[in-house]
Each structure stands twice: as C-alpha cells, then as structure tokens.
Amino acid sequence: MKKLFATGAVALVLSLAACGGGSGGSGSVDTETLDIAWNAQPPTLDPLMTTATSTRDIARNVWEPLVAPDENGEMQPVLAESYTVSEDGKTVSFVLREGVTFHNGDPMTADDVVASVQRWIEKTGSGSQYFADATVEKVDETTVNIVLPEAMYTALDLIGDPSQIMAVMPKSVIDAAPTEGVSEYVGTGPYSVVEWATDQHVHLEKFAEYTSPEGDPSFTAGAKTPVFENIMFHFVTDPSTRLSGMQSGEYDIANEMNFDMKAQLDGDPNLVTEADVVGFNGVIFNKKEGVMSDVNMRQAVLSSLDMTSILQASFADPEFFTENGALMAEGQPYYTDAGLENWNNPDPERVKQLLAEAGYNNEPVRILTTREYADHYNAAVVVEQNLKANGINASLEVYDWPTVLSTRTDSTAYEIFITGFSTVTVPTNYVFFGPEWPGWTNDPAITQALDDITYAADEAAATAAGEELQTAFYEYLPIAKFGDNDTLTTYSGDLTGYSFDPTAGIVVYNTAPAE
C-alpha cells in the first residue's frame, strides 16, 4: 500500500504552518494555544474504556505507556528506562525511568505501574484475551515484570499497541475509579486535562514538570517537547465548518477533511494538506443475535457489495484508497491473498442462494452510521443501495458518533455498523477479533489461528499462521473490509514538528511554531 511505513514519508517532521490561536499563515506566531478542529467528540477520555480514535488521539497527550513502537515497528522505552525479555520468553522485565512525575505532583512508582498494567489486562481486549493468566510483579522500586505462563511471539507488540495504550496512572486513581472509567484524568504526559466541555472542547495545558523519554521523535516513541501552553480540541462535526475555520485562521489543524475538498485546500497558500495512510473501513456484523448471526447472511452481504463503488464514494479518488481485501496491506508482514475469492466480486445469483440457505424473510437490516465521519456515512449509503438491490431490506440509522459507539454495544439495536480500523503491525491486534468487542466474534478457527500467531516458534510459523487466520476470517466473516484508505488533515501557516503515525493517528505534542 502506498506510503505505508515508508521511512520519512508518514512520520516526517513537516515544516508546516500555524501560529497559536489560529494564524491562517499570517506569521504572527505565539505559543499560547494550538487550536484543533476535531471531527468527533470522544465517548470518554479514559483510553482503556474505548477503542474510539477520538479518545486515543486526545488521550496520548495525557497518559503514557511503558513502551511504544517507532517508525520501524521496534518497541522503544517511554516510561520504562529499558526492557528485557527472558531467555525462555516468559518474562518481560521493565526498568522504570526515575524522576517521572504525575500531573498531581506525585512521583511515579512501581506500585502505580503494577496497578496500571493489571488494569490494562482487565479492561482492554488485548489484555483480557492474551494476558489474563499473566502475573504482574513488583521486583523492587524500579523494576516491574510481566510473567507469562508460556512464551508469546507477539507479547511486545501487544504490550506496546498504541490503539489502547497501557496507560500508567496513579494507583490511588485506579483504586477510586468507577466502573465506567477513571474520573480523575491524571497521567505523566506532556499535557494535563483542564476541562472537558461536552459538545464543545477538551482543553489541555502544558505540564511544567514533564520529563521526556530520550531519542529522536519517531511515531509515538522518542522525545516529546511540548511548546504550546494550551491545546484546544474543538468539536466541529461539520467538515465545511472545519474548512472555513481553517481558511479564516480560527483553527491551526483540522482532521478528517472531505476528500472532495482536496483541490480547494491545495489552492489555499496558507494551508498545507496531507493524505496519510490510516487503515481501512468496513461493515461490522452483529454476530450475537439477529439475522447476521447466520454466516450465510454475512456471506450474502459480502457478495452484494461493490467495494470499488464504496471506496470511490468514501474517498473520491484512487489516490486516497487501495482495493485490497486482505487483513494487512501489501508489503506488510502477514500479507496474503488467501480467501479473497469473493471479496469485491458482486454476484446476485450467489446472494440469492445464500439468502435462501439463511431462510431470510425480508427482516430489516439496520445499518448504524454517523455523518461525523463523512467516509463512514458515504460508504453506508452505497452499502444500503447494494443490499437493497439484492433483496436485503436495509436501512440507515444515523446518529452522532458517541451514540453510535454506545448503540453498537446493544446486540438488539442493529445488524450492521460502519467503522474504521487503524493500521496494525500484527493482525492479532485487530479489535474485531475480540469476543467482547461489538460484533462479538466467536469462531474456533479464528481463535486457533490467533493463538498460532501469538505462540509461534519463529517468524516462519507466525507467517503461516497469518495465512491460516485470513482463511478463517473469510469463512466466518466477522466484518467485510472495503479496502485500505488514507485520511486527510490540513494545517495552517508555520508549524513544525507535527507527525502522523499510521498505527496511532495524529501526534501533536511536538508541534511548535516554525522559526
């Protein structure tokens, strides 16, 4: 896939533009406030309680993990000073950085790290699925071990996965947290939370006592050098309003711009616009109950979908998407073409046969979507058309993004929802394989393949298990992938230090006015 992990192409430090408070390229640079027009409100700021990217991208400024992947996929220390894996592969040992302070003024301790790792195991899909039988041990005041019952080939990839970071918090905050997530937003990151005004903004403030990890910035690894005193994530759900705000200088950065705005954005000399590899979108099936719990119905949907038309409606131009039904992008580890025979292969006769085998009797197929992600909504419109054309009684149910996130947890409320997934380095990191994640995947062949990757003896065995996984994926069909795609972000005036991580999204804590 174009640009994916190309050195210097995605995580490059751009000589872009803006002045704090919205400059529109005017040159009146200050470091008071970085104003960001954000497309969707997060359902929570607790990064362990959701897989929503709106939470992930804001929360990474506040909380930090023990390790994070660099642009080469190698795990680098963040709150750890160093880490080692035992010879038998069963113990991952972290030596903690000294002198790290939480936003409340307390020093980070090994007890805080143990509580945070245990919470990550309990609350996240990767943690509960792969580390439920692990032991988290405080060796001494500066050392914490994660002890596994057997060696895991992908242990570090899972521990450092940026989609739901192993966020380190004070033990006291964790102990006091209600079921729905932490109520005190206390981390070690370069910014602390000042205010979350629902439907308006999240206000972050530079943490004066912040201590950064070492190394050149590389995706979410390396040094963090906050410059702006404040970061404002303004919730601006309408892309036209985000565009006009960028043109007027009200905002410095705007995410999730419509792809048909690219020419207009490129024509503004005060703006720089980047299309970055982000992952893929798709149809997620409710497999717990209802008509989509029948694999024949899911296969009927796949054989109804014209992926080329869906991608064109979502991303406007092939410059911004790649027709690829595989779990991984071509050129990535674990890429295979196994099982792709029926992907992007609309076949009305096959649909008719599968509907008959499913005993389908015109039951409604409700499709959850939102206008806050234009690519999701545009895809949903074509999906609805494709399904109706093949005799499936489909209809759209359009909500704001937080409502989609809450509704998709109710197995009685829908048959399909539309969402996107960030690029991963190992396919086991996809949340849709988790049995507790909305859609509720439950397939022995998928589970076996995931285990075969996780506990592979070597790279060759892991690669073979990746082909096994994709074959099982297309037989069970937990989701229907559309194809790989970019996201469009625009920036004003004279900013430097912004980066985009295809596994983690927008990274702004190193952003500063250019000299």
For 382-415, write each residue's pLDDT tens digit. 999 999 999 999 999 999 999 999 999 999 999 9
Low-confidence ranges of the chain (pLDDT < 70): 1-29
SS3 of the chain: helix, strand, coil, percent, to 5: 30, 25, 45
CA-angle at 70, arms to 455 and 456, nearest 5°: 10
For 444-458, write each residue's pLDDT tens digit. 999 999 999 999 999
The CA distance from 239 to 460, in Å, is 45
Task: Classify domain 33-252+493-513 by CATH number.
Answer: 3.40.190.10
Q: What is the pLDDT of residue 8?
A: 36
The CA distance from 310 to 329, in Å, is 18
Task: Classify domain 278-487 by CATH number.
Answer: 3.10.105.10
> CB of 497 within 8 A of CB of 17?
no
Residues 6+ apart with CB under 8 A from 430: 327, 421, 424
Q: What is the pLDDT of residue 30?
A: 81
Q: What is the pLDDT of residue 108?
A: 98
Q: HEC states along 56-120?
A: HHHHCCCCCCCEEECCCCCEEECCEEEEEECCCCCEEEEEECCCCECCCCCECCHHHHHHHHHHH
DSSP code at position 213: P
Nearest residue to 416 (alpha-carbon basis) of 364, 353, 469: 364
Whole-model pTM over 0.85: yes
- Sketch the domain layout of the chain as residue ranges: 33-252+493-513, 278-487
Exposure of 342 by Cβ count < 10 A (0-12 exposed, 13-18 middle, 19+ buried)? Answer: middle
Q: What is the pLDDT of residue 496?
A: 84
Q: What is the pLDDT of residue 492?
A: 80
Nearest residue to 71 (alpha-carbon basis) of 166, 3, 163: 3
How far out from the chain centre does Cα 387 lie?
A: 28
